[in-house]
Amino acid sequence: MKDASQCPIGVFDSGVGGLSILQALQQQLPGESFVYLADSGFAPYGERDEAFVLERARACLTLLRQHQAIKALVVACNTATALAISVLRQENPELPIFGVEPAIKPAAAASLTHKVGVLATAATLQSSKFLELLDRLQATDTEFVLQACEGLADAIEQQWQTGGNSAVLGLCRQYLAQMGAFGNAAGQIDTLVLGCTHYPFASRELQSLTGMSVRLLEPGAPVAKRVQQVLMEKGLTAQNQDGQCQLLATGETSNLQQAVSHWLNLSLPVRQV
Protein backbone atom coordinates (compact mmCIF):
# COMPACT_ATOMS: atom_id res chain seq x y z
CA MET A 1 0.00 0.00 0.00
CA LYS A 2 1.17 3.54 -0.79
CA ASP A 3 2.74 5.42 2.12
CA ALA A 4 0.02 7.87 3.29
CA SER A 5 2.52 10.73 3.45
CA GLN A 6 2.97 10.51 -0.34
CA CYS A 7 -0.77 10.98 -0.98
CA PRO A 8 -2.03 14.40 -2.08
CA ILE A 9 -4.03 16.85 0.03
CA GLY A 10 -7.63 17.27 -1.14
CA VAL A 11 -8.95 20.83 -1.41
CA PHE A 12 -12.46 21.90 -2.39
CA ASP A 13 -14.61 24.98 -2.79
CA SER A 14 -17.84 25.77 -4.62
CA GLY A 15 -15.71 27.12 -7.46
CA VAL A 16 -12.53 29.11 -8.08
CA GLY A 17 -12.40 30.89 -4.70
CA GLY A 18 -10.48 28.13 -2.96
CA LEU A 19 -7.59 28.83 -5.32
CA SER A 20 -6.72 31.69 -2.93
CA ILE A 21 -6.12 29.01 -0.29
CA LEU A 22 -4.43 26.59 -2.72
CA GLN A 23 -1.98 29.35 -3.67
CA ALA A 24 -0.98 29.82 -0.01
CA LEU A 25 -0.74 26.04 0.50
CA GLN A 26 1.55 25.65 -2.51
CA GLN A 27 3.77 28.47 -1.28
CA GLN A 28 4.02 27.07 2.24
CA LEU A 29 4.25 23.40 1.21
CA PRO A 30 6.08 23.19 -2.15
CA GLY A 31 6.77 19.47 -1.72
CA GLU A 32 3.11 18.53 -1.29
CA SER A 33 0.73 17.47 -4.06
CA PHE A 34 -2.85 18.70 -4.25
CA VAL A 35 -6.12 17.66 -5.84
CA TYR A 36 -8.41 20.67 -6.16
CA LEU A 37 -12.14 20.18 -6.72
CA ALA A 38 -14.39 23.05 -7.81
CA ASP A 39 -18.02 22.13 -7.17
CA SER A 40 -19.04 24.28 -10.11
CA GLY A 41 -22.09 22.16 -10.91
CA PHE A 42 -23.64 23.20 -7.59
CA ALA A 43 -22.24 26.72 -7.01
CA PRO A 44 -22.72 29.15 -5.43
CA TYR A 45 -23.11 27.90 -1.86
CA GLY A 46 -23.46 31.27 -0.17
CA GLU A 47 -27.21 31.69 -0.49
CA ARG A 48 -28.07 28.01 0.09
CA ASP A 49 -29.24 26.33 3.31
CA GLU A 50 -27.27 24.16 5.69
CA ALA A 51 -28.66 20.82 4.42
CA PHE A 52 -27.63 21.62 0.83
CA VAL A 53 -24.10 22.74 1.75
CA LEU A 54 -23.58 19.72 4.02
CA GLU A 55 -24.71 17.34 1.27
CA ARG A 56 -22.32 19.00 -1.19
CA ALA A 57 -19.42 18.94 1.28
CA ARG A 58 -19.95 15.19 1.77
CA ALA A 59 -20.20 14.70 -2.01
CA CYS A 60 -16.98 16.67 -2.60
CA LEU A 61 -15.06 14.54 -0.11
CA THR A 62 -16.41 11.36 -1.72
CA LEU A 63 -15.48 12.57 -5.23
CA LEU A 64 -11.96 13.48 -4.12
CA ARG A 65 -11.49 10.06 -2.53
CA GLN A 66 -12.92 8.27 -5.55
CA HIS A 67 -10.40 10.10 -7.69
CA GLN A 68 -7.44 9.32 -5.42
CA ALA A 69 -6.60 8.54 -1.78
CA ILE A 70 -5.98 11.81 0.11
CA LYS A 71 -4.10 12.27 3.38
CA ALA A 72 -5.87 15.45 4.49
CA LEU A 73 -8.74 17.69 3.40
CA VAL A 74 -8.82 21.47 3.23
CA VAL A 75 -12.32 22.92 3.06
CA ALA A 76 -11.24 26.03 1.14
CA CYS A 77 -14.61 27.69 1.57
CA ASN A 78 -15.87 29.76 4.49
CA THR A 79 -19.48 28.79 3.83
CA ALA A 80 -18.81 25.04 3.82
CA THR A 81 -16.56 25.40 6.87
CA ALA A 82 -19.30 27.23 8.74
CA LEU A 83 -22.09 24.82 7.77
CA ALA A 84 -20.46 21.44 7.34
CA ILE A 85 -17.00 21.00 8.84
CA SER A 86 -18.14 19.74 12.26
CA VAL A 87 -20.18 16.94 10.66
CA LEU A 88 -17.39 16.07 8.19
CA ARG A 89 -14.97 15.74 11.12
CA GLN A 90 -17.40 13.56 13.09
CA GLU A 91 -17.97 11.30 10.09
CA ASN A 92 -14.27 11.04 9.13
CA PRO A 93 -12.32 11.01 12.40
CA GLU A 94 -9.24 9.42 10.75
CA LEU A 95 -8.82 12.27 8.24
CA PRO A 96 -7.19 15.60 9.21
CA ILE A 97 -9.74 18.22 8.05
CA PHE A 98 -8.91 21.95 7.94
CA GLY A 99 -11.30 24.82 7.33
CA VAL A 100 -11.25 28.57 6.79
CA GLU A 101 -12.99 31.12 8.97
CA PRO A 102 -13.32 34.89 8.64
CA ALA A 103 -10.21 36.35 10.34
CA ILE A 104 -12.15 38.50 12.79
CA LYS A 105 -9.90 37.85 15.77
CA PRO A 106 -6.69 39.03 14.06
CA ALA A 107 -8.72 41.89 12.60
CA ALA A 108 -9.84 43.04 16.06
CA ALA A 109 -6.23 42.89 17.23
CA ALA A 110 -5.00 44.87 14.19
CA SER A 111 -7.65 47.61 14.06
CA LEU A 112 -6.58 50.96 15.49
CA THR A 113 -10.00 52.57 14.99
CA HIS A 114 -11.63 49.52 16.63
CA LYS A 115 -13.98 49.25 13.71
CA VAL A 116 -13.73 46.18 11.49
CA GLY A 117 -15.69 45.37 8.34
CA VAL A 118 -16.52 41.76 7.45
CA LEU A 119 -17.50 40.70 3.92
CA ALA A 120 -18.88 37.17 3.60
CA THR A 121 -21.75 35.18 2.18
CA ALA A 122 -25.14 35.40 3.87
CA ALA A 123 -24.89 31.72 4.85
CA THR A 124 -21.56 32.30 6.63
CA LEU A 125 -22.76 35.40 8.49
CA GLN A 126 -25.98 33.65 9.62
CA SER A 127 -24.24 30.43 10.71
CA SER A 128 -24.06 29.53 14.38
CA LYS A 129 -20.31 28.87 14.00
CA PHE A 130 -19.69 32.46 12.90
CA LEU A 131 -22.09 33.94 15.46
CA GLU A 132 -20.30 32.05 18.25
CA LEU A 133 -16.94 33.36 17.01
CA LEU A 134 -18.36 36.88 17.01
CA ASP A 135 -19.83 36.40 20.46
CA ARG A 136 -16.43 35.51 21.89
CA LEU A 137 -15.15 38.90 20.70
CA GLN A 138 -18.01 40.93 22.15
CA ALA A 139 -15.95 41.64 25.26
CA THR A 140 -13.39 43.52 23.15
CA ASP A 141 -14.10 47.15 22.29
CA THR A 142 -14.25 46.39 18.55
CA GLU A 143 -17.31 47.18 16.48
CA PHE A 144 -17.93 44.74 13.61
CA VAL A 145 -19.80 45.88 10.51
CA LEU A 146 -21.08 42.76 8.77
CA GLN A 147 -21.94 42.78 5.08
CA ALA A 148 -23.41 39.87 3.13
CA CYS A 149 -22.32 40.13 -0.50
CA GLU A 150 -24.95 38.30 -2.51
CA GLY A 151 -23.76 37.60 -6.04
CA LEU A 152 -20.14 38.72 -5.54
CA ALA A 153 -18.62 35.21 -5.51
CA ASP A 154 -20.61 34.38 -8.61
CA ALA A 155 -19.47 37.57 -10.39
CA ILE A 156 -15.83 36.74 -9.56
CA GLU A 157 -16.45 33.21 -10.88
CA GLN A 158 -18.04 34.37 -14.13
CA GLN A 159 -15.75 37.26 -15.02
CA TRP A 160 -14.11 35.45 -17.93
CA GLN A 161 -17.49 34.62 -19.44
CA THR A 162 -18.72 38.19 -19.03
CA GLY A 163 -15.51 39.66 -20.41
CA GLY A 164 -14.27 41.85 -17.57
CA ASN A 165 -14.53 42.91 -13.97
CA SER A 166 -17.20 45.60 -14.21
CA ALA A 167 -19.81 43.43 -12.43
CA VAL A 168 -17.28 42.66 -9.67
CA LEU A 169 -16.41 46.33 -9.27
CA GLY A 170 -20.07 47.35 -9.27
CA LEU A 171 -20.96 44.89 -6.49
CA CYS A 172 -17.89 45.84 -4.42
CA ARG A 173 -18.89 49.50 -4.72
CA GLN A 174 -22.49 48.76 -3.75
CA TYR A 175 -21.63 46.67 -0.69
CA LEU A 176 -18.83 48.87 0.65
CA ALA A 177 -21.09 51.93 0.34
CA GLN A 178 -23.58 50.24 2.69
CA MET A 179 -20.92 49.77 5.39
CA GLY A 180 -19.95 53.38 6.12
CA ALA A 181 -16.67 55.24 5.84
CA PHE A 182 -13.28 53.57 5.39
CA GLY A 183 -9.98 55.02 6.57
CA ASN A 184 -7.76 55.73 9.56
CA ALA A 185 -9.80 58.38 11.34
CA ALA A 186 -11.86 57.69 14.43
CA GLY A 187 -15.17 56.02 13.58
CA GLN A 188 -13.90 54.72 10.23
CA ILE A 189 -13.36 51.08 9.24
CA ASP A 190 -9.60 50.53 8.99
CA THR A 191 -9.58 46.71 8.65
CA LEU A 192 -11.63 44.64 6.22
CA VAL A 193 -11.98 40.88 6.63
CA LEU A 194 -12.42 38.94 3.39
CA GLY A 195 -14.65 36.19 4.76
CA CYS A 196 -15.19 34.30 1.52
CA THR A 197 -12.34 32.65 -0.34
CA HIS A 198 -13.46 34.21 -3.62
CA TYR A 199 -12.99 37.78 -2.35
CA PRO A 200 -9.15 37.93 -2.34
CA PHE A 201 -9.55 37.79 -6.13
CA ALA A 202 -11.41 41.11 -5.88
CA SER A 203 -8.72 42.69 -3.64
CA ARG A 204 -7.69 45.15 -6.31
CA GLU A 205 -11.25 46.40 -6.76
CA LEU A 206 -11.89 46.49 -3.00
CA GLN A 207 -8.65 48.29 -2.22
CA SER A 208 -9.29 50.87 -4.94
CA LEU A 209 -12.60 51.68 -3.23
CA THR A 210 -11.48 51.63 0.43
CA GLY A 211 -8.20 53.47 -0.17
CA MET A 212 -4.75 52.04 0.48
CA SER A 213 -4.76 52.78 4.22
CA VAL A 214 -7.34 50.05 4.87
CA ARG A 215 -5.90 46.65 5.66
CA LEU A 216 -7.52 43.64 3.92
CA LEU A 217 -7.28 40.35 5.81
CA GLU A 218 -7.52 36.92 4.18
CA PRO A 219 -6.94 33.50 5.71
CA GLY A 220 -4.66 31.71 3.19
CA ALA A 221 -1.28 32.00 4.93
CA PRO A 222 -2.42 31.10 8.49
CA VAL A 223 -4.35 28.07 7.21
CA ALA A 224 -1.33 26.87 5.22
CA LYS A 225 0.88 27.18 8.32
CA ARG A 226 -1.61 25.19 10.37
CA VAL A 227 -1.75 22.43 7.72
CA GLN A 228 2.05 22.27 7.70
CA GLN A 229 2.21 22.01 11.49
CA VAL A 230 -0.39 19.21 11.74
CA LEU A 231 1.15 17.20 8.87
CA MET A 232 4.49 17.39 10.68
CA GLU A 233 2.96 16.31 14.00
CA LYS A 234 1.26 13.34 12.33
CA GLY A 235 4.32 12.28 10.32
CA LEU A 236 2.43 12.97 7.09
CA THR A 237 4.81 15.44 5.44
CA ALA A 238 5.66 14.33 1.87
CA GLN A 239 9.27 13.23 1.44
CA ASN A 240 11.45 13.88 -1.59
CA GLN A 241 8.75 14.80 -4.06
CA ASP A 242 7.96 17.77 -6.24
CA GLY A 243 4.49 19.04 -5.59
CA GLN A 244 1.96 18.24 -8.30
CA CYS A 245 -1.51 19.66 -8.76
CA GLN A 246 -4.61 18.09 -10.29
CA LEU A 247 -7.81 19.95 -11.02
CA LEU A 248 -11.36 18.59 -10.97
CA ALA A 249 -14.75 20.23 -11.45
CA THR A 250 -18.29 18.88 -11.04
CA GLY A 251 -19.75 21.25 -13.65
CA GLU A 252 -18.33 23.51 -16.29
CA THR A 253 -14.54 23.55 -16.35
CA SER A 254 -13.57 26.73 -18.16
CA ASN A 255 -13.83 29.14 -15.19
CA LEU A 256 -11.39 27.00 -13.21
CA GLN A 257 -9.09 26.62 -16.20
CA GLN A 258 -9.02 30.39 -16.76
CA ALA A 259 -8.64 31.23 -13.07
CA VAL A 260 -5.73 28.84 -12.60
CA SER A 261 -3.88 30.19 -15.59
CA HIS A 262 -4.64 33.81 -14.66
CA TRP A 263 -4.08 33.74 -10.89
CA LEU A 264 -1.75 30.78 -10.33
CA ASN A 265 0.11 31.08 -13.61
CA LEU A 266 -0.36 27.36 -14.26
CA SER A 267 -1.54 25.71 -17.41
CA LEU A 268 -3.26 22.52 -16.26
CA PRO A 269 -6.14 20.47 -17.63
CA VAL A 270 -9.39 20.33 -15.65
CA ARG A 271 -11.14 16.98 -15.46
CA GLN A 272 -14.90 16.87 -15.08
CA VAL A 273 -16.12 14.46 -12.40
Give the active site residue among 7, 77, 149, 245. 77
| 125: contact with ligand DGL by CB under 6 A | no
Among 17, 117, 219, 220, binds ligand DGL (CB under 6 A): 17
| 182: contact with ligand DGL by CB under 6 A | no
Q: Cβ–Cβ contacts within 10 Å for residue 147, how many?
A: 19
Smaller CB separation from ligand DGL, 29 or 100? 100
Q: Interface mask (CB under 6 A) for ligand DGL, residues 147-176, using x and -?
A: ------x-----------------------
Residue nearest to ligand DGL (CB): 46
* Cβ partners under 8 Å of residue 14, min gap 6: 38, 39, 40, 42, 43, 44, 45, 46, 56, 77, 79, 80, 153
As measured in angstroms, the least distance from the Cβ of 87 to ligand DGL is 17
Using the contact rule CB under 6 A, the part of the chain among 42-50, 181-189, 236-244, 258-266 near ligand DGL is 42-50
| 19: contact with ligand DGL by CB under 6 A | no
| Cβ atoms of residues 248 and 273 within 8 Å | yes
CA angle in degrees (0–180, nearest 5) for 204-207-208: 85
Catalytic-residue membership of 245: no
Of 7, 153, 41, 133, the closest CA to residue 81 belongs to 133
- How deeply is 133 buried, as exposed, middle or buried, from its count of CB atoms within 10 A (0-12, 13-18, 19+)? middle
Measured in degrees and rounded to the nearest 5, phi and psi for residue 245 equal -140, 130
Among 12, 36, 45, 130, binds ligand DGL (CB under 6 A): 45
Q: Per DSSP, what are the bridge partners of residue 271?
A: 248
Q: Which of residues 204-243 bind ligand DGL (CB under 6 A)?
A: none
Size of the site for ligand DGL (CB under 6 A): 16
CA angle in degrees (0–180, nearest 5) for 208-40-128: 75
Catalytic-residue membership of 196: yes
Query: Which stretches of the chain bind ligand DGL, using CB under 6 A?
Result: 13-14, 17, 43-46, 77-79, 121, 124, 153, 196-198
Residue positions annotated with a catalytic role: 77, 196
